[in-house]
Amino acid sequence: MIQKILWRYTVNIHRSLLLFVFILAISEMLIGSENNPIEEPDAFIVKVEKNPAISRGKIALLQGTASPEGTLFKVPSLSIDQKVMVLLLSNDPAVPVNMELRKYHWTAPRRKGSTNKKGEYVEYLRTQGDLFIKVFTLKGEQPYRLVIWVDKHTPPPMSPVLIPRDSKHPIKTQNLRSVK
């Protein structure tokens, strides 16, 4: 009986060790590859700051020239309870400027779009962690402005977890016993 238990235990240890070695080998292959989608490329760190011109939240105002290679931006440390707006403005509405929003894999953007006839493109979102933005054109160079607005932390409203004993709640409180 004890031998069977020990045998099962050692088999489980061997299986776990084999699985660990397999996962380690796969991760080494991914990290060692040149096109690792998880590894962050060089990006400009965007600092959103308070601005007296806006009444709520923080803002970053950027400008640059978009090219086919693209410019990468990183907005760090966002929280899911913050609203985020990313506005791309093209100086020449006739020439579209493209924007891609990314999270972890640089090879697959989460959202993408390009400026419209008015020369603007806007995205509203909530996200946790870092947000990566790529601004580019399909051909030639085009000046642009990028506005990133981050709202203050606003957690969603929650009803109280505990209900006072004397409240007029639909639950019949006489069936509840208080703990002393």
Q: How far apart are CA 93 and CA 111, in angstroms?
A: 21
pTM value is: 0.68
**Each residue of 86-100: b (16+ CB within 10 Å) or e?**
bbbbbeeeebbbbbb
Predicted pLDDT of residue 99: 97
* pLDDT tens track for 49-58: 999 999 999 9
Residue extents of the structural domains in the chain: 1-33, 44-150
73-112 pLDDT tens trace? 999 999 999 999 999 999 999 999 999 999 877 778 999 9
If one compares 154 and 84, the residue with the highest pLDDT of the two is 84
The topology under which CATH files domain 44-150 is Jelly Rolls (2.60.120)
75: Cβ contacts below 8 Å, ≥ 6 apart = 46, 48, 60, 84, 130, 131, 132, 133, 148, 150
CA distance 156 to 102: 25
DSSP codes of every residue in 5-63: HHHHHHHHHHHHHHHHHHHHHHHHHHHHSTT-SSSPPP-EEP--B--TTSSSSEEEEEE
